[in-house]
Amino acid sequence: MLIVRYASRTTTRGLVFLNHHLYGEPDGPIGMDYYVWIVRNERRTIVVDTGYSDLGGRNRQRGHLIHPGEAFRRLGVTPAESTLVLTHAHYDHAGNVDLFPDSKVIVPRTEFDFWTGDCARRLQFHHSVEDTDLDHLRTVHEQGRMVFHRGHEEIAPGVELIELGGHSPGQAILTVRTDEGLVLLASDATHYYEELERDLPFLVVADLEAMYRGFDYMNGLVADRDAILVPGHDPAVLDRHRRLDGPMGEFTAVIGGPRSEGAAV
């Protein structure tokens, strides 16, 4: 599995954790990195999330360290031969779906139904998405390339997709079996290690109760199955894992499989 950091910024803890003042801690700076993930072996490639588009970045004054499309190209991802999984539809995870014009796209049904429904137009939800991205998802659906997911199911041998909700109505996580152990790819079910470890919900939340239940579920995977946690935005992620050999090692870490660029992971 490849972990690819495509952007980075600095914000404050008060703008990251829900009701931060309740914890009696001083506010202060915190880094926020942005990732996409690639799960592959010699038989298949699964791209998990697509990062934010140029438009999504410009609308929020955020650039790229490397554009996700360029990262995919340099890592040997062939869109037509890849399956795309979207953990949720926020702008920084579903912003470049058009780079995969022929791919099957797996999306939590709850997520698609919410973001194509009326409530998604409300400001408290809508600020997290781009209309252009949602239009791309509608196109995928109209073309018959969308595969809906509900609950907990295996989408490929050793790869399970699990809907938790919380941060977004259909927020999903993945578990991936690797030769280093079971990986818990949390995406934004937990943005940071400390979010899960210290029970600190993220500021953007669609269903707080579901978020807390998701914390319990993920903590159970870590405790009971010794799962390797990969949160969605923690700057420490790359340093906790071995870097990919070659130039893309600046942006990419590996869990399981060979280290060389372009190799099956």
pLDDT digits (tens, 9 = 90+) for 64-99: 999 999 999 999 999 999 999 999 999 999 999 999
Domain positions in the chain are 2-254
DSSP, res 244: P
Q: Cα(199)–Cα(191) distance, rounded to whole angstroms?
A: 12
Closest to 71 (Cα-Cα) out of 261, 240, 216: 261
In whole angstroms, how far apart are CA 83 and each of 28, 46, 247? Answer: 40, 5, 25
Helix (H) or strand (E) holding 70: helix 68-74
Question: Which tens digits make up the pLDDT trace of 21-65?
Answer: 999 999 999 999 999 999 999 999 999 999 999 999 999 999 999
* pLDDT for 258: 53
Q: What is the mean pLDDT of the chain?
A: 96
Q: Read out DSSP for 150-218? A: -SEEEEETTEEEEE--SSSTT-EEEEEEETTEEEEEEETT-SSHHHHHTT--BS--S-HHHHHHHHHHH
Give yes or no for residue 260 having a pLDDT over 80.
no
Res. 265 pLDDT band, cuts 50 70 90? very low
Res. 257 pLDDT band, cuts 50 70 90? confident
DSSP, res 253: E
Q: Give residue 153's identity as a one-letter amino acid code.
A: E
Assigned architecture for domain 2-254: 4-Layer Sandwich (3.60)
| Predicted model pTM | 0.95
Q: Cα(64)–Cα(107) distance, rounded to whole angstroms?
A: 25
Q: Cα(131)–Cα(127) distance, rounded to whole angstroms?
A: 10
**Three-state SS letters, 39-68:** EECCCCEEEECCCCCHHHHHCCCCCCCCCH
Tokens of 171: 């927020």
DSSP, res 78: -
Closest to 221 (Cα-Cα) out of 191, 185, 252: 185
